[in-house]
Amino acid sequence: MTDVLGQLESAPAGSPRPVGWRMLAASPLTMVGLLGVIGILVAALFAPALAPADPGAQDLTNILAPPFWDEDGSSAALLGTDGLGRDVLSRLLYGARNSLVISVAAMLLGASVGLATGLFAGFFGGRVDSVIMRLGDVQLAFPFILLAIAVLGVVPNRSAWHLIIVLGIPGWIIYARVVRSRVLAEKEKDYVAAARAIGASKWRRLFRYVVPSVWQVVPVIALLDVGFLIIMESTLSFLGLGLPPPAATWGGILAEGRRNMVVSTWLPILPGLAIVATVLSINLLGDGIASVFDTNVVRGGFRRIIPKGAGQPALQPADQALLDVRDLGVTFPTRAGSIRAITGVSFDMAHGETLGVVGESGSGKSVTGSAIIQLIDPPGRISSGEIWVEGEDVTRVNDRRMRQLRGRSIGMIFQNPAASLNPVLSVGYQLREGLRSVGVPRREVVSTVRRILTTVGIPDPDRVVRQYPFQLSGGMNQRVMIAMALAARPQLLIADEPTTALDTTTQAQILTELVELTDQQDISLLLITHDIALVSEYADRVLVLYAGKVCEIGPVESVISSPAHPYTKALLESVPRVDATGDRLEPIPGELPDPSIVRTGCPFAPRCRDVMELCHSVDPMLTAIEQGHHAACHLWSEVEVVGS
């Protein structure tokens, strides 16, 4: 999966990217929010044109007139009149105008102060950071309502400006905190260091490099902030701290309505509905926009998809191989269409054999491993083929059986052992749990833990069992993972780049131990790696994958010494070797293929030295070159045709 994603990220220029607008439109709730917000904006902007009456015009002859749906209502005042005979609809429309202007202005004030302080605090750090963040702590501790009373209750001529300041200032710390944490993350990235190395000044680094990467967090917070500020503005108006009368505000109408609610129940309800509808619309729209920015959402949880025909008797394949993979295909559905991670992959493994699977990003080597143990990352799924493990097709067995097979028949170790272990549980606890789950009797668990840790070369198992994964080095954690996997005595162990994250001296120690242990216990080892040299040292046979297809498979000695596929050949020539003379390397031209582009013919054709006309149109089949050594290349299929 990481392979596939890695490739997706590096898709060449011009590949289609999901359009944010289309994603927004796809969510009905977001559209409701958007329509609501547009409605409020129209009401606010065109209040003078829309309002049927002057919002301040009193008509004491027609006070507390009911709205039109009431039997006494009239179409003259659609939503009735208030205690001074003013038209409620007009007052609500002007109230929207006042609320929105004040809230948006307050948001802009808070957002600008917050953005600036957040940027400085994060980028300059040290004393600047301490002062700003402590001010923020004070701000958060200070009751908002006290500030409001202190300012608004005291100033003689209360104006919109006072409200904007009182509402806007307290919000800055929210923006500042988010911006600061984004800046802290961005400024440590290499591109900022690179900017310094090319001589960019502090200010240039801040404004040209950091700001463009962090400002996008502001609009979403700002939108949600406006919703909150509308409520706060209404609260102040309700308390009589808002715009002074006769200005129309929702809070003010609410307060008036409260005084008359015994006779006119609708009066407080109308502004209340206006507030709820506005804030809800804003929040729905804000959530929708936030989910567009958050592109990592995977819809649908982790679920194994069993192909049609499941439940049929799983027929034993003809030969007695431990593992028999036949015509395996795995696809990853994406918005841009289905990506074929692997296609038509077939191979088998004998008991006790070590098979090396070699490939680069997007080759499908990891996907092949996770397909065998049925742990393909969602949304990937097996689209074709069979995987026979000891006479059972694991693509068809039910989940319960699969759980039994995992661990007991098929074990797996990953590249990053620390991520596979739980950080808050001791190593010993996790080992004991693991052993219990594969059926080691309770009495023997503790002694088994000590024994297996010793076998993987951990010098003091009694100390290690009390420690937590973060207290151990990467090499030690990987040893723990190996111990855990081997303790279940699996028939097949899948090791996906088990030493890639480790130093070479540790790699040599661990792989040597691993291969010795699997040899002793007659466990088949599927060693997945990008390093063909590693495979040449530890594996019996090697499988070379390129762009999700098998290029070549055969005994290590023949593949390394006389590679049949041009890709294998080129791969061997492009690795700088410590024992080489320093002659110029022959790199493979071009780039790895984009997995989202489906092409016909051999996937390696565009980069191949020996490419022929045929290669672009016809996908070569695996052809036997000698006993047990196969390659998928037209160079060899031609030879066969000529020979036969």
Partner 1 sequence: MSLLEVRELSKTFEVRGRGFGRGVGQLRAVDGVSFDIDAGETLGLVGESGCGKSTLGRAVVRLLEPSGGVVRIGGVAHESDDPRLRRLAQIVFQDPYTSLPPKMRIGRVIAEPLRIHGIVAEGEVSDRVERLMLDVGLKADLAGAYPHELSGGQRQRVGIARALAVEPELIVADEAVSALDVSVQAQILNLLRDLQSRYGIAYLFISHDLGVVRYMSHRIAVMYLGRIVELGPSAEVVKDPLHPYTRGLLASVPTLHTGRPTVRIQAEPPNPVDPPTGCSFHPRCPIARDVCAQDSPPLTEWKSGHWAACHFALDDHGVQSNQNDPGDQS
List residues near partner 1 by CB under 8 A.
Answer: 9-15, 189-191, 193-201, 204, 208-209, 212-213, 360-361, 459, 473, 475-476, 503-509, 512, 515, 530-534, 536-538, 556-557, 560, 570-572, 574-580, 582, 584-589, 591-592, 607
CB of 379 to partner 1, least distance (A): 22
CB of 208 to partner 1, least distance (A): 8
Of 360 and 377, CB closest to partner 1 = 360
Check if the beta carbon of residue 438 is closer than 8 Å to that of residue 407.
yes
Of 305 and 560, CB closest to partner 1 = 560
Of 79 and 214, CB closest to partner 1 = 214
Of 47 and 559, CB closest to partner 1 = 559
Q: Which has the closest alpha carbon to 540: 478, 629, 633?
A: 629
Amino acid at the residue 581 = T
Of 144 and 468, CB closest to partner 1 = 468
CB of 470 to partner 1, least distance (A): 10
CB of 561 to partner 1, least distance (A): 9
The secondary element (H helix, E strand) that includes residue 545 is strand 541-546
Check if the beta carbon of residue 164 is closer than 8 Å to that of residue 108.
no
Rg (CA), the chain: 34
CB of 259 to partner 1, least distance (A): 54
Contacts of 135 (CB under 8 A, 6+ apart): 173
Question: How many CA atoms are closer than 13 Å to the CA of 413, on its beta-carbon side?
Answer: 31
Of 296 and 504, CB closest to partner 1 = 504
**Cβ of 317: how many Cβ atoms within 10 Å?**
14
CB of 155 to partner 1, least distance (A): 43
Binning the chain into helix, strand and coil, the percentages to the nearest 5 are: 50, 10, 35
Of 101 and 560, CB closest to partner 1 = 560
Question: How many CA atoms are closer than 13 Å to the CA of 90, on its beta-carbon side?
Answer: 19
Of 159 and 473, CB closest to partner 1 = 473
CB of 539 to partner 1, least distance (A): 9
Burial of 129 per CB tally in 10 Å (0-12, 13-18, 19+)? middle
Check if the beta carbon of residue 525 is closer than 8 Å to that of residue 493.
yes
Of 139 and 500, CB closest to partner 1 = 500
| Nearest-angstrom CA–CA distance, 130 and 229 | 28
Burial of 500 per CB tally in 10 Å (0-12, 13-18, 19+)? middle
CB of 622 to partner 1, least distance (A): 21
Check if the beta carbon of residue 482 is closer than 8 Å to that of residue 496.
no
Reading the block at residue 97, the tokens are: 């105008």
Of 213 and 637, CB closest to partner 1 = 213
CB of 11 to partner 1, least distance (A): 7
Check if the beta carbon of residue 522 is closer than 8 Å to that of residue 515.
no
Reading the block at residue 341, the tokens are: 């991670």
| Nearest-angstrom CA–CA distance, 231 and 558 | 76
The DSSP line for 184-208 is HHHHTSHHHHHHHHTT--HHHIIII
CB of 502 to partner 1, least distance (A): 8
